[in-house]
Amino acid sequence: MQNSTESIRRKIIHIDMDAFYASVEQRDNPELRGKAIAVGGSPEGRGGVVATASYEARKFGVRSAMPSKQARQLCPEVIFVRPRFAVYKEVSQKIREIFRRYTDLIEPLSLDEAYLDVTEDKLDIGSAIEIAKQIKQAIKDELQLTASAGVSINKFVAKIASDMNKPDGLTFIGPSGIEAFMEKLAVEKFFGVGKVTAEKMKKMGLFTGADLKKLPEDEMIKHFGKAGRFYYQIARGIDNREVQPNRETKSIGAEDTFAYDLTEIEEMNIELDKLSQTVCNRLQVYQLKGRTITLKIKYSDFKQITRNYSVSEPVCDFEVITDAAKKLLLATNPEGKRIRLLGVTLSNFGEIAPKQKKPEHPDQLELFEE
Ligand code: DCP
Ligand code: MG
């Protein structure tokens, strides 16, 4: 947009598969088609959480990360299906092959989601909307699955756009529409704004992009630290983050900002168990093991520290990861301190070939799956 550093206007597509795991299961098992299904959780609906739900199950309110028991209560006929990670990974690779017909500037965010920079496309199509249409069609024809696409001039707007007309959507937000679009956007939709920051913003009377825009940059930084600078720009529709190809998974982590500061070690350990479990689940999807466990702590005064511990053999075990995180925590003398955020990350992946060096990442907020 009105940013002097951005000399060429970029064409960015964000693609996200619809109800990804569930759609793959319905595709491969005709008996599940048209039915309310939940992938993950326990088949009896006792333990575990739902990874994702089919659109039929979503009508009843079944959602990702919901305990199976609750899913069963909301939708008694829901069918629990065991996840098949290897199949999702394979589909993910095929989607990427389709993307590569158009551009090499592909940045996968997860198995089912990627940014594409098609400012210059290999087939000289020129129109990003046309490319998005062709990609969606190829995914339908070749993989019998649907995807939703968002097309815009930057990553943030493209990502929000891809979510607007799910499933099977294609949403274009052009330069002239961005400003009005951002003004109406709820603060919790802004990139990097989690539930705690959203609450804080609402307490300050900030509910939409239009409200955020009223705050000068120094005020934003005062209230939200480093992220404030990014919010200031994004509220104006400016997002200069580049699409980063070759962005390998260098680490897998999870973090949580708490609704209130933690002061008791027991509470902290419970949170470390939850975070370590999330990390383990993601390691399973990516089939990775790592040697270095990193603990991140942010105190109530926003001061942040990280501590890490390396083991001799790559691991992906919950026990090892959570134990290491707890030991790292103890070594920081947490008694009496007020902790607002904890994070657990595993890195230093053993089996993967050496990578190119990652380009300098301007985005301070994207801390995971680097
Ligand atoms: N996933 C998971 N646990 C979560 C969220 C997601 O295991 N808490 C998995 C299952 C999803 C896949 O990641 O199928 C992709 O996540 P999305 O958020 O894109 O969700 P879906 O693709 O399932 O649905 P949507 O149509 O809303 O994109
Ligand atoms: Mg998806």
159-186 pLDDT, tens digit each: 999 999 999 999 999 999 999 999 999 9
Ligand 2 centre to CA of 338 (Å) is: 36
Residue 365 inside a domain? The answer is: no
3-state secondary structure of 298: strand
- pLDDT, residue 270, reads 94
Tokens of 259: 């609704």
Residue 283 has a pLDDT of: 87
User: What is the model's pLDDT at position 250?
Assistant: 84
**CATH code of the domain in which 170 resides:** 3.30.70.270
Instruction: Give the chain's length.
Output: 370
Looking at residue 44, its pLDDT comes to 58
Residues 149 and 276 in one domain: no
Q: Over 90: is that where the pLDDT of 363 sits?
A: no
31 belongs to the catalytic site: no
pTM for the full predicted model: 0.79
Tell me, yes or no, whether 118 and 160 share the same domain. yes
C-beta separation of 185 from 52 below 8 A: no
Residue 145 Cβ < 6 Å to ligand 1: no
For residue 370, the model assigns a pLDDT of 31
Cα distances from 223 to residues 30, 203, 232, 298, 335, in angstroms, run: 52, 12, 12, 15, 27
Judge whether 209 and 184 are in contact, CB under 8 Å.
yes
Kindly indicate the confidence band of residue 2, based on its pLDDT and cuts at 50, 70 and 90. very low
- pLDDT mean over 335-357: 76
Tell me if 135 CB under 6 Å of ligand 1: no
Min mean pLDDT across 9-13, 102-106, 133-137, 222-226 is at 222-226
Which tens digits make up the pLDDT trace of 265-295? Answer: 999 999 999 999 889 988 887 778 999 999 9
Q: What is the CATH number of the domain that holds 200?
A: 1.10.150.20
| CATH classification at residue 69 | 3.40.1170.60
Which ligand neighbours the alpha carbon of 85 most closely?
Answer: 1
> Does 348 share its domain with 255?
yes
Q: Are residues 102 and 13 in the same domain?
A: yes
Q: Give the whole-angstrom CA distance, residue 253 versus residue 292.
A: 11
Q: How confident is the model at residue 361 (pLDDT cuts 50, 70, 90)?
A: very low
Query: Does 362 score more than 50 pLDDT?
Result: no
Considering the domain architecture, whether residues 122 and 155 belong to the same structural domain is answered as yes
Residue 330, pLDDT score: 96
Q: How far is the CA of 243 from the centre of ligand 2 (A)?
A: 19
pLDDT number for residue 227: 86
State the average pLDDT over residues 97-108: 96
CB of 21 within 6 A of ligand 1: the answer is: yes
* 292: Cβ contacts below 8 Å, ≥ 6 apart: 308, 309, 310, 311, 346, 347, 348
Angstrom distance (rounded) from CA 218 to CA 84: 48
Q: Give the distance (Å) from ligand 2 centre to CA of residue 192.
A: 18
Mean pLDDT calculated for residue range 242-268:
90
Residue 361 maps to a domain:
no
Ligand nearest to the CA of 53: 1
Taking every pair of Cα atoms in the chain, the longest distance, rounded to a whole number of angstroms, is 61
| Same-domain check for residues 184 and 99 | no
Residue 130 lies in a domain: yes
Instruction: Judge whether 106 lies within some domain.
Output: yes
Tell whether the model's pLDDT for residue 319 goes beyond 90: yes
Q: State the distance from the centre of ligand 1 to the C-alpha of 38, rounded, in angstroms.
A: 11
What is the structure's pLDDT at 8?
77
14: pLDDT strictly greater than 90:
yes
- Closest residue (by CA) to atom 1 of ligand 1? 51
Residue 282 confidence (pLDDT): 84
pLDDT > 90: what percent of the chain? 75
Residue 369 placed within a domain:
no
pLDDT in tens, 189-230: 998 888 888 999 999 999 999 999 999 999 999 998 888 998
What rounded mean pLDDT belongs to the chain?
89
Looking at residue 35, the DSSP 8-state letter turns out to be: S
Quote the CA–CA distance of 107 and 213 in Å, as a whole number.
Answer: 29
Same-domain pairing of 101 and 79: no
**Is 225 a member of any domain?**
yes
Confidence of residue 302 (pLDDT cuts 50, 70, 90): confident
Nearest CA to ligand 1 atom 28: 18
pLDDT value for 43: 60
The Å distance, Cα 221 to ligand 1 centre, comes to 32
Q: Residue 70, SS3?
A: helix
Domain presence at residue 48: yes
Q: How confident is the model at residue 355 (pLDDT cuts 50, 70, 90)?
A: very low
Q: Does ligand 1 come within 6 angstroms of the Cβ of 114?
A: no
Confirm whether 368 is domain-assigned.
no
Same-domain pairing of 48 and 64: yes
The reported pLDDT for the residue numbered 46 is 53
Q: Name the strand (E) or helix (H) holding 252.
A: strand 251-262
pLDDT given for residue 178 in this prediction = 94
What residues contact 244, with CB distance under 8 A and at least 6 apart?
107, 358, 359, 361
**Structural domain containing residue 169:** 5-17+86-176
Q: How many domains are contained in the chain? A: 4
- The residue to mutate among 17, 23, 52, 66, having the most atoms of ligand 1 within 8 angstroms of its beta carbon, is 52
Q: How many CB atoms lie within 10 A of CB 311?
A: 14
Looking at the structure, tell me whether residues 12 and 58 fall in a common domain: no
Whether residues 107 and 200 share a domain: the answer is: no
Q: According to the model, what pLDDT value does residue 70 have?
A: 93
Residue in 25, 56, 107, 113 annotated catalytic: 113
Tell me the backbone φ, ψ of residue 137, rounded to 5 degrees: -65, -40
Model confidence over 120-156: pLDDT tens digits? Answer: 999 999 999 999 999 999 999 999 999 999 999 999 9
Which string of b and e fits 323-357 if b means at least 16 CB within 10 Å?
A: ebbbebbeeeebeeeebbbbbbbbbbbeeeeeeee
230 CB near ligand 1 (under 6 Å): no
Q: What is the pLDDT of residue 189?
A: 92
Q: Kindly state whether residues 134 and 229 are assigned to the same domain.
A: no
The least confident of 22-26, 337-341, 348-352 is 348-352
The pLDDT assigned to 47 comes to: 64
Asked if 12 and 109 sit in the same domain, the reply is: yes
